[in-house]
Each structure stands twice: as C-alpha cells, then as structure tokens.
Structure 1
C-alpha cells in the first residue's frame, strides 16, 4: 500500500458542532457550511484520526489539496430486505395494518397500510 508522508498528509481540522449545525475549518480556513452535507470522524488505535467530508453537489464550490480517496460500493439491500421480510409474521402484519388509524377505504389502501407498517418496523418504530 502506498502511504503518503505523514507530515505532508497531516491537516489541522477543527469542527464546532452544536445542534444540527457544524462549522468546519481546515488548517484555519473556514469551509462554507453549504458545501458539506455530512462528515465522519474515525480513529483506530495505532493509526492517525481521519475526517471524511461528504461534499454537497455544488457546481460553484472548488476544492484543492491532497486527499486519500476511498470509493465505497453501496451494499445491495436485497439480501437484508429478504431476511427482514422472512421474519415477518403474516398474521401480525395483517392485524397491524387493519388497525392502523391511517387505513383508508380506497383501492390498494390495505397494501399501502402494510407497506407503511413494514417500513415502520424496519426503522424500529
């Protein structure tokens, strides 16, 4: 693995977060908050800390400098969804859907209620 020189790769990053807002500075330079949609900080024992900035899709924002770029594959949700659906008790799903206060009488309302219920169960609600 090709590793960058530690001195050349090191940057001072300061994040001041409060509520839903975070101000980010890199080497004393403020970053436009609208240019970053998220950030992740990680640190493994024996390694240097890393800050991953998730850049917003903005045409007028320009970035320069060195970075280690990691491309991650988005996992296929199919296998996890299959495991989740296999664990669903059909009777419990039907009972929950039929007792929902938002169950309507229009066509496909039971299917809509079941899908809504499954979504809520998937999110732990």
Structure 2
C-alpha cells in the first residue's frame, strides 16, 4: 500500500458516549443505525485504519486522518460446519446423556446436546 499519499486518507471523527457514537467521515455524519461497531488500528509508519461494521457502538473517541474500510461481519456458517464435522456422534450422545442438567421433558436430549456443543465450542 502507498502510505505516502494523503489522497487515499479520509478525515474521521468518532465521538462515543455510553452505548452511542457519532461518526463523521470527511465531515459527513454516518447514519447511526447503519453501523453495529468499528475498530481502530494504528501501526508505526502507517496511518490509522478504521473498520466500520454494518447495523451499537463501543466507548471511544478518535479524531484524525485514517484509511477507512467498511466490512461485513464474517459468515459463521463455514466455521460452524468445520466444528460440527469434527464432532464424534457417540461422544456427543454419551456426554449429553451424562449431563446433570439433562431433563426428562420433550426435546431434553436435543437441548442437552446443543448445550454440550456450545460448551465444547467455548473450550469448556
């Protein structure tokens, strides 16, 4: 990337108060409902970079020049598919049936299996 030229940089102002933030790019306010968040990074020798996420805000204030990118949140489907394909069905059933919170009502085994999968996904 060519960081020597200011032509690719935009003026960025972020003012956050509580759960709300006002974001301006080149003096134009971004619709608050259009974004779900943002990240700011800055590496030595490079201009700061702001990444804006589509559809609440983080408490922060930033004002200056930055390269601005608008990003969509990654699709969790492919990562979920990889995780689920690595699950041993016997181990899942055994673990779900051994859970102390396994109920006796309709769908309780399915609920126990889903709870077990969430725990495994979190590394518990």
- TM-score, structure 2 normalization: 0.60
Mapped to 1, the partners of 2:105 and 2:73 lie a distance apart of 44
Over 3 Å counting, the alpha-carbon distance change for 1:94 and 1:80 in structure 2 is same
The residue aligned with 2:51 is: 52
Q: Could you list the per-position Cα deviations for residues 53-92 of structure 1 after superposition, in whole angstroms to 9, with x for gaps in the alignment?
A: 2234xxxxxxxxxx76779975721334445x35x96544
Aligned mates of 1:70, 1:113 — CA distance in 2: 35
Structure 2 gap ranges (5+) = 56-67
Q: Compute the displacement of 1:110 (Å).
A: 0.9
Q: State the Cα distance separating 1:52 from its structure 2 match.
A: 1.5
For the aligned residue pairs, the C-alpha RMSD in angstroms reads 3.7
Q: What residue is the counterpart of 1:112 in the other structure?
A: 111
What number of residue pairs does the alignment pair up? 109
Higher share in strand: 2
Structure 1, unaligned runs of 5 or more: 57-66
Alignment correspondent of 1:27:
26
What SS class does the counterpart of residue 112 from structure 1 fall into?
helix
SS at match of 1:12: strand
